[in-house]
Structure 1
């Protein structure tokens, strides 16, 4: 089975090499709130809204890009891991990939609905930030877990 939308298998290992350090860095940033001073930079913004200032469109702003950099690296790594072919990409893997993606969307939006109902204030903003990553995280965990379970049961049959 060929799927032109999937990346070649060699990108999966590259994705893991990017995703694991980005995940560790993201957890550290979340816990400590650390921002590297040397990552303060002028960047182009489509829209900028200061807390007590004016809204600006298509402007240059000075901001610390630590979170932006780690989040972007995480997304690239997660996409490479999620959408790279397996060594043996067959109909079972394609079906598993589709069901895992559907399952991750269902779980993500169930969690988001719970957050809408029970989380308020600044904590809700944090939930929305993390929600950008949860579909990919849930997909990667479920897809690889089912793949591992299946390979384990296949080796037990031999």
Structure 2
């Protein structure tokens, strides 16, 4: 049965071209404690909860959009990689996809549970930030690992 929710295979390359640089930028941002001001601009904000000003709603504000840009690129790239068909999509690949997704969700929520139990204060905010991305990262890693492991080698074909 064809899965209509998957994108054509050509989107996977585009996804990798977006996902890898966004991952590198995200790691660099993490080492700078998400304070890097690489890109700033004027954006439309539904809510801006600034520390020094009253809440501002539904207006254009000037702000640092580095985290927004990197996070958006990471999510778009990750979704393109995750939800693009393989060149030969069959039931075996669909099974790997489902297994990897289940594994990623369980592991991600397991890590979140550990965070709830053992991490407190402002450090927990970092746990929540990282946890937004763990399902995609774990799914991509697991699915591609299982795909690689299942491919026949040259010696297997002889």
TM-score after normalising by structure 2 = 0.91
Shift of 1:74: 0.8
Match of 1:88 in 2: 88
**Quick one: distance in 1 between partners of 2:40 and 2:15?**
27
1:9-158 aligned within 5 A: 9-32=9-32, 33-36=35-38, 39-151=39-151, 154-155=152-153, 156-158=155-157
Q: How many residues align?
A: 154
**SS across alignment from 2:62:** strand
Could you tell me which runs of 5 or more consecutive residues in structure 1 were left unpaired when the two chains were aligned: none
Per the TM alignment, residue 52 of structure 1 is displaced from its structure 2 partner at its CA by 4.5
Cα deviation for residue 126 of structure 1 reads 1.2
What's the Cα RMSD here? 1.3
CA deviations on 1:25-50 (whole Å, 9 max, x unpaired) are 111121134222xx222211122212
Higher share of residues assigned helix: 1
- TM-score w.r.t. structure 1 length? 0.91
Contact preservation (8 Å) 1:29, 1:35: no
